[in-house]
Amino acid sequence: MLSRIIKFFWPDLNNDEIKKYGLLSMTFFFIIGTYWLLRPLKDGFFFSTVGGTFQPTAKMLSVVIVGLLVMVYSKLVDIVKKHNLFYVLGSIYAVLFAIVAYVIGLPVSGPGALNPSILKFFGWATYFIIESFGSIVVALFWSFTASVSDAKTAKKGYSLVVVGAQVGAIFGPFMATNAEVLGLRTLFVIGSLGIVMMMFVVKRFMAVIPTEQLELGKPETTSTAKKTGFMEGLKLLLTRPYLLGIFAVVTIYEVVGTIVDYQMKMQAQALPQYASRESLTAFLGVFGMAANTLAFLMALLGTGYMMRKLGLRFCLLTFPIVLGTAVAGLYASYSWGNFNPMMMLWATFGVMMIAKGLSYALNNPAKEMMYIPTSKDVKFKSKGWIDMFGSRSSKALGAAFTDSLKASPHALLAYGTILSLGFIGFWIVAAFFVSSKFERLTSEGKIVE
């Protein structure tokens, strides 16, 4: 039944490709579903125990933490088989979230109450753990997927992978909308179980997919397959214009998204109906459901068609153009729309919905395709720098900007719009360059190494 449904929406996939990309889609379902369940919990818990005004600081500190984790990840790439990294990292995160679930349910008042300082510590720690999970495990998944794909099959199968992710990204926030009923402890336990399920699907993938389907990428010669250190990924990034272009395409969105996302969360926390950690978590769950439902519909009905018929360049350019229009429209609504606080919150909600929806449904599969004509070191090391450290640095840049202007909502929106549109202009240029280079590499059968 499921195979027939997939065949209807992806008629170009043969039976072997349906099995392969179907299992990858299921793996991504559990990764993204877990992340989008934990993401509202992260903010709801942090805002209530530490305070929303400290969120920009947390984002900036996460650069250092993720940088250290990139070192560990890069070392693991050399000494652990790629699919085994899912088991290693998955086990660590499953245990960490189980610990958080235990602590978060302890009493905060009365005899035996948890010390407020300990609760605040876990507010910070949980923020960093969830942020790193979203960076590391997602980057690992796409690196692994690129390593078992070629450009031809990726154009057919990546949109199926994204649909699985979007179903998870709807289901996860849906669970978070019930925070006031289930409680945060139960939701963290569910998140830990989701990671365990991800590991089981990876194990199934490795058991049923033939070896030849795991080696579709261009083989590397002995000279290019040598072991390299942690800094090799950064060296490749800084010396290959193609990789610098990917860096721009991947990271510029994070600056813009961080600014608008912070505006939305602070607007919500300022309203009395979203003052508690459970109610704020539930609101962010609603946002996650809305954004990812949009992304799901796009991935199901449009992503595959656009990637096959309109090409990588169209997909890469559409996102910044639409996002720039939405950001400009938000500022116009604030300046001339005479909106009350609730109306402004939902206008900002709409812009973030468009940003997240297009990011997951259109930009992510398109940018992941750009890694196909690259070497193993690029896929697993330079990509690690870009997706984890680079993305986190961009969020920190956006957070630094919001932190400097958080006392003045008007200044934050006005200057934020100017900064965002400037970055988007540069983003468009980078997307054009990278898409042109990608076409040349794939047509000539070359790789960036």
Is residue 448 helix, strand or coil? strand
pLDDT value, residue 417 = 77
pLDDT tens per residue, range 243-252? 888 888 888 8
Tell me, what's the pLDDT at 384? 67
| Res 225: pLDDT | 42
pLDDT at 150 over 80: no
Mean pLDDT highest for which of 139-148, 149-158, 394-403, 424-433?
424-433
The pLDDT value given to residue 193: 95
Domain range annotation of the chain: 14-211+229-444
Q: How far apart are CA 269 and CA 276, in angstroms?
A: 8
- % of the chain with per-residue pLDDT over 70: 87
With CA atoms as reference, report the closest residue to 242 among 410, 114, 107, 431: 431
In tens, the pLDDT along 55-69 reads 788 878 877 887 777
Quick: pLDDT tens for 194-244.
Answer: 999 999 999 999 888 877 767 655 444 444 444 445 577 777 777 888 888
User: Which pLDDT tens digit goes with each residue over 368-417?
Assistant: 788 878 877 777 677 767 776 677 778 878 888 887 776 676 777 777 77
What's the mean pLDDT when you consider all of the chain? 80
Q: HSE (CB half, 13 Å, CA atoms) of 58?
A: 25
Phi-psi region of 113 (alpha: psi -120 to 50; beta: other; left: phi over 0): beta
Residue 2: pLDDT band by 50, 70, 90 thresholds?
A: low
Say if CB 125 and CB 161 are below 8 A apart: no
Class of domain 14-211+229-444: mainly alpha
What is the percent of the chain where pLDDT is above 90?
9
Is residue 424 predicted with pLDDT exceeding 60? Answer: yes
